Amino acid sequence: MEEKRYRAISDCYREKFGGKVAKIALDGGFTCPTRDGSLGTGGCIFCSGRGSGDFASSRLLSITEQIHQGKTQTAKKWTPVGYIAYFQAFTNTYAPVSILRAKYEEALACDGILGLSIATRPDCLSEEILDLLEEINEKTSLWVELGLQSAKEETAAFIRRGYSTAVFDESVRALAKRNISVVAHLILGLPKETENDLLDTIHHINRLPLEGVKLQLLHILKDTDLAALWEAGQVPVLSEEEYLLQLCAAISHLREDITIHRLTGDGPRQLLLAPLWSLNKKQVRNHLAKKLKEENIYQGMFYSP
């Protein structure tokens, strides 16, 4: 058996559910405080008009219809043992509790749904919403995904994140106190960030009660503010080799028990401007596996409490 170089979510799904699990991206019809005028109207500089839900079904469909559509698409490729309903687009706790409860419960009522993954902002978690999430967590598998992107405040201001790193930390602790698994989103290749900045972010999340992390490549998508900066030559993008080097650095410094939920990713083909090499996710994963093995790199090898 091939040696495991990092703690992958696919392995955790097999341990928990007994086989491969598919994640169905959903658009719950929500918006975001950086888009509705509360904190701004343009969103984060890298965000498309779908609020990071570019692979979700249309919000004009009900949650049940979206899940049915997701199952149909998955069945064309493979057969999972079950599904995670992934509330992905925009901020999925940014609504009254009654609406949130109805959306979540509709998803859980669908056949084959093993749990929920809810992507949101750490500044959109009131006590009432935390109570609801705790209730959901008691009856199903639940992951709450929070966007950190970078622990560097200058970077957060540049990408228009809209909250401080301290707010992120407080929300992680509040969720973990209720035994809710928290996944942090990080972006590699952010403008003006060095590998040392990335490692500072890794060291930061190592000190938090996180269950998982998503390591995401910076994508340039059409019709975003980031695209305008890229087209003006003000924002470089990583080559595949540069990305692999940063991934290896992140993995080797990441705490051993943190599950890696994502190692790469791609933008929708019709929206992606750069880097186009990211469209071949299988190749990126294969090249990473080869590099980890050849250089004997494994998760946590440089982690120090």
Which pair of structure tokens corresponds to residue 276? Answer: 């186009």
Fold type of domain 9-294: TIM Barrel (3.20.20)
CB 188 within 8 A of CB 238: yes
Residue ranges, the chain, pLDDT below 70 = 1-2, 49-55
At 172 the pLDDT is 98
Neighbours of 81 (CB within 10 A): 14
Amino acid (1-letter code) at residue 28? G
What pLDDT score does 113 carry?
98
Hey, where are the domains in the chain? 9-294
Is residue 94 within 8 Å of 30, Cβ to Cβ? yes
**Per-residue 3-state assignment (H helix, E strand, C coil) for the chain:** CCCCCCCEHHHHHHHHHCCCEEEEEECCCCCCCCCCCCCCCCCCCCCCCCCCCCCCCCCCCCHHHHHHHHHHHHHCCCCCCEEEEEECCCCCCCCCHHHHHHHHHHHHCCCCEEEEEEEECCCCCCHHHHHHHHHHHHHCEEEEEEEEECCCHHHHHHCCCCCCHHHHHHHHHHHHHCCCEEEEEEEECCCCCCHHHHHHHHHHHHCCCCCEEEEEECCEECCCHHHHHHHCCCCCCCCHHHHHHHHHHHHHHCCCCCEEEECCCCCCCCCEEECHHHHCHHHHHHHHHHHHHHCCCCCCCCCCC
Nearest to 303 by CA among 190, 180, 213, 174: 213
| pLDDT per position as a tens digit, 212-258 | 999 999 999 999 999 999 999 999 999 999 999 999 999 999 999 99
Look up the pTM and report it.
Answer: 0.95
Residue 1, pLDDT score: 35
Which of 193, 183, 93 has the alpha carbon at shortest distance from 151?
193
